[in-house]
Amino acid sequence: MAETSSVTDGIHYHQHDVLIIGGGGAGMRAAIEAAPKASTAVITKLYPTRSHTGAAQGGMAAALANVEEDSNEWHTYDTVKGGDYLTDQDSAEILTREAIDAVYDLENMGLPFNRTPDGKIDQRRFGGHTRDHGKAPVRRACYAADRTGHMILQTLYQNCVKHGVEFFNEFYALDLVMTETPLGKRVAGVVAYELATGEIHVFQGKAVIFATGGFGKIYKTTSNAHTLTGDGVGIIWRKGLPLEDMEFYQFHPTGLAGLGILLTEGARGEGAILRNASGERFMERYAPTIKDLAPRDIVARSMVQEVLDGRGAGPNKDYVYLDCTHLGAEVLETKLPDITEFARTYLGVDPVVERVPVYPTAHYAMGGIPTNNDAEVLSDNETVIPGLYAAGECACVSVHGANRLGTNSLLDINVFGKRAGNNAVEYARTADFVDLPTDAADGVVKMLAQMREGTGTESVAEIRKALQETMDRNAQVFRTEETLQTALADIAKLRSRYPNVRIHDRGRRFNTDLLEAVELGFLLDLAEVVVVSAINRKESRGAHMRDDYPTRDDVNYMQHTMAYRTAAETGASQGIRLDWKPVRVTHYQPTERKY
């Protein structure tokens, strides 16, 4: 196994067969496959167990049929319909078929799932998961209280340690090195910045897997951690590679009102009910069959509609209620302990006896780095870049289409994380290292020096706040040409202010000031792609609800968006070209989406 390191001119050089960027669920699941067969390094800006996967609450879907009849085919149908028919159906079939093993793999690694009285893995209901093609909700989500992601992350980490994965913790990947070879474009390695020392590290690898998670911090009100700034997606974008379906950003219905902190859909899975100011269970009007357990796009829209129609609660009538009071203290304390505490701590509301104020919160990126079913990154609709992989929330396979179902992401990171790890290690077995150009680190060194030594006057915090506020206002659950154009104009202004940011900390060690500025650059890039893609899609589908084009238009828009960067950095705009990619339909023709 290749594994070396050295220092030249103050830059550290390392060599590993497989490089994984990101130590969350997807990255560690990949590492567990790769490490036994090849030298494997995980480069992660967070200590692995602090990754956002650890915040996942409700569960992981798999049609185990432990508590009632279920099938992979029903799960596939729900995933396709939940994605408003933009889901690639062959990919969804892989997801649901491999779900079963994905859960048992975790169980065998030691994950303490909740159990049924007879000792099987217990399962709960979740939005959009149904029995027999939409007839009624089904119990499909495997869970560990409301700490499923925490348990997954701890379990994967322990197994990575067991398999000898080498972790580079608090290392920020800032660039991907690709070179032209006689065989075409190839991956040579990754350039990273070490937080503790401010030193630059160049990692040479035969295969590179991106597993850097989402970019919820383009929004102000979000369930996402502060670290979810889309670095990996941004790095890929800056390399001139496409991004897919970026306009589809999911709003989770139940964020704590005004804060965005998440209350899992598992609460509704256990029987909690959404009510408007007058106490009406309004989801009965919007989704008569499965009501509060409709998919997230539908529930979030219905909540916003209630508020727009004046039926919201509170002094400003700007939220609705999640009513858990009929569930009883025991269910809340044993199956939903964390969210019960969140409501008490952050809103001073006790869900055992009071209704909890909730409103949609920016939650999940359906779009991202386009890959095929083998987790290989695409440079157009079909062409793969040998040796380059992506998995998890940063990737777009696309198994989630226009709207992800709850519990399908923890599933995605396990199924496609495993596939990425396996395929990367297979590739690394036969491939040679590609020579690193001598100037591999120059771009990053120059960018950081310019930022650190710049004499600008702009504040990173202010630009970030302005970005998040315009996205919250203008690229929301409901959007129109007018609101999106406003967002785009705001982003352009912020982009032209960005090169003028001032870094207050000029030091090298733990310079988080500097890294926040770098992260803001990725957020600005990605927000623009989201908005430009959203302007271009003149229909309503899944999470993308255009008030000015309120219906789904399968004739013109039953296609994935592919966004390409056309120009080098020009300040206000990056130059974005949009194209389409066909949706792969294997079974289910699009029909009207009713629940």
**Residue ranges in 258-287 that form contacts with ligand FAD under rule CB under 6 A:** 262, 264
Shortest distance, CB of residue 265 to ligand FAD, whole angstroms? 7
Residue among 26, 208, 257, 287 that touches ligand FAD (CB under 6 A):
26
The answer to whether the CB of 228 falls within 8 A of the CB of 219 is no
Residue among 23, 127, 260, 295 that touches ligand FAD (CB under 6 A):
23
Task: Give the other-Cβ count within 10 Å of 539's Cβ.
Answer: 17
- Give CA–CA dist 130/289, Å, rounded: 10
The answer to whether the CB of 388 falls within 8 A of the CB of 236 is no
Task: Give the other-Cβ count within 10 Å of 66's Cβ.
Answer: 19
Give strand ranges (E) for 368-505.
369-370, 376-378, 384-390, 395-396, 478-479
Residue that has been written with the tokens 């226009």 in this structure: 402
Residue among 15, 39, 57, 72 that touches ligand FAD (CB under 6 A):
57
Q: With CB under 6 A as the rule, give the number of residues binding ligand FAD.
A: 43
Residue among 172, 248, 286, 389 that touches ligand FAD (CB under 6 A):
172
Q: Does 252 carry a binding-site annotation?
A: yes
Decide whether 255 or 357 has the Cβ nearer to ligand FAD: 255
Per DSSP, the three-state class of 159 is helix
Structure tokens at 575: 């130059």
Strands 559-565 and 249-256: unpaired
Residue among 39, 66, 76, 148 that touches ligand FAD (CB under 6 A):
148
Residue among 212, 325, 372, 403 that touches ligand FAD (CB under 6 A):
212
Decide whether 99 or 501 has the Cβ nearer to ligand FAD: 99
Closest-by-Cβ residue to ligand FAD is 24
Q: Does 46 carry a binding-site annotation?
A: yes
Residue among 30, 37, 58, 558 that touches ligand FAD (CB under 6 A):
58
- Burial degree of 200 (CB within 10 A; 0-12, 13-18, 19+): buried
Q: Does 52 carry a binding-site annotation?
A: yes
CA distances from 118 to 30, 66, 67, 69, 145 (A): 32, 10, 10, 16, 17
The identity of residue 233, as a single letter, is: V
Decide whether 27 or 82 has the Cβ nearer to ligand FAD: 27
Report the helix count and the strand count for the chain, using DSSP H and E: 16, 23
* Residues acting as catalytic residues: 296
- Give CA–CA dist 443/448, Å, rounded: 9
Q: Does residue 398 have a cis peptide bond before it, meaning omega lies within 30 degrees of 0?
A: yes
Q: Does 24 carry a binding-site annotation?
A: yes
Quick one: which segment of 25-33, 316-324, 333-341, 543-551 binds ligand FAD (CB under 6 A)? 25-33
Q: Does 432 carry a binding-site annotation?
A: no
The identity of residue 558, as a single letter, is: M
Structure tokens at 572: 């206000």
Decide whether 271 or 590 has the Cβ nearer to ligand FAD: 271
Shortest distance, CB of residue 536 to ligand FAD, whole angstroms? 25
Concatenating the DSSP letter of every residue in 115-145 gives B-TTSSBPEEEEEEEEETTTTEEEEEEE-ST
The identity of residue 556, as a single letter, is: N
Decide whether 411 or 576 has the Cβ nearer to ligand FAD: 411
Q: What's the order of all strands across the beta sheet hosting 356-365?
A: 249-256, 356-365, 320-323, 273-275
Shortest distance, CB of residue 541 to ligand FAD, whole angstroms? 21
**DSSP H or E segment with residue 423:** helix 408-430
The answer to whether the CB of 40 falls within 8 A of the CB of 21 is no
Q: Does 102 carry a binding-site annotation?
A: no
Decide whether 270 or 306 has the Cβ nearer to ligand FAD: 270
Per DSSP, the three-state class of 388 is strand
Shortest distance, CB of residue 577 to ligand FAD, whole angstroms? 25
392-421 footprint of ligand FAD as x/- string (CB under 6 A): xxx------------xxxx--x--------
Q: Does 213 carry a binding-site annotation?
A: no
**DSSP H or E segment with residue 84:** none
Shortest distance, CB of residue 212 to ligand FAD, whole angstroms? 4
486-525 footprint of ligand FAD as x/- string (CB under 6 A): ----------------------------------------
**b/e map 353-391, b = 16+ CB within 10 Å:** ebbbbbbbbbbbbbbbbbbbbbbbbbbeeeeebbbbbbb
Q: Does 577 carry a binding-site annotation?
A: no
- Burial degree of 524 (CB within 10 A; 0-12, 13-18, 19+): buried
Question: Is residue 55 near ligand FAD by the rule CB under 6 A?
Answer: yes
Shortest distance, CB of residue 199 to ligand FAD, whole angstroms? 15
Shortest distance, CB of residue 431 to ligand FAD, whole angstroms? 23
Decide whether 52 or 125 has the Cβ nearer to ligand FAD: 52
First CA to last CA distance, the chain:
53
Question: Is residue 581 near ligand FAD by the rule CB under 6 A?
Answer: no
Question: Is residue 44 near ligand FAD by the rule CB under 6 A?
Answer: yes
Q: Does 421 carry a binding-site annotation?
A: no
Residue ranges that bind ligand FAD, judged by CB under 6 A? 21-27, 43-46, 48, 51-53, 55-60, 148-149, 172-173, 211-213, 223-224, 231-232, 262, 264, 364, 392-394, 407-410, 413
Binding-site residues from annotation: 22-27, 44-59, 231, 252, 264, 363, 393, 404, 409-410
Per the annotation, where are the binding residues for substrate? Answer: 252, 264, 363, 404
